[in-house]
Amino acid sequence: TNLEWLNLGDNQLTGEIPVEIGNLTDLLYLRFSYNNLTDSIPFEMGNLINLFYLSLYSNQLTGSIPESICEIYTNVNYFYISYNDLCPPYPDCLVNQEPFTDENNNGIWDEGEPYVDTNENDIYEEDYVGYQDTSECEECEGTLGDINEDGVIDILDIVTGINIILETISYTDCQSYLLDFNEDGSTDILDVVQLVNFILDN
């Protein structure tokens, strides 16, 4: 737990990033780039509040980016998650463009206009998500909480949500997204509790 520097980049690592990574709260530097990591970014990564460098660049990470990433984003000087398969919607903290001086008042950054290079990479970036292959991302038009997508939020959605969490049924990315009722980037019992409260209140 006292580890401050972890560089596992440029290997052939497979599998998922373990949730236990969130226990390494003294980490300053974390690099997993250029591997073959899959699955989603664990919600627990938001516990790494001392990070100044985070690179998950060029893997095969999927799913949504957890909102918890915003807990560490403001402290991280070097933040690279491009070239994965991460699906929108992305957390607001990652899609706000770097501040710039709009000298010609056209509302967009133009070559040569001054900007704040917040991640110090000498490149103006409109967002910090970068290129993502979203071809496998499922368009999800449903309402949060309507997990079985029948147009009604009721006890059947709770049952479906619990089965998804326990992985006793097969489910789509869209259903997983609709289960994230508290919008924290992960699907767990807290979503079910909030869903129950919502149903009882309505």
- Condensed to tens digits (0 to 9), the pLDDT of residues 112-157 reads 888 888 767 787 777 778 888 988 887 777 888 999 889 999 999 9
pTM: 0.64
Q: Is the pLDDT of residue 186 over 80?
A: no
Q: Is the pLDDT of residue 63 over 70?
A: yes
Q: Is the pLDDT of residue 22 over 70?
A: yes
- Mean pLDDT, rounded, of the chain: 87
In DSSP terms, which residues pair with 7 in a beta bridge?
31
Note the pLDDT of residue 117.
81
Note the pLDDT of residue 141.
75
Note the pLDDT of residue 185.
67
Instruction: Give Cα separations from 72 to 56, 58, 107, 133, 176 (angstroms).
Output: 14, 20, 29, 24, 24
Strands 14-15 and 36-37, by their bridges, are parallel
Q: What's 100's DSSP letter?
A: B
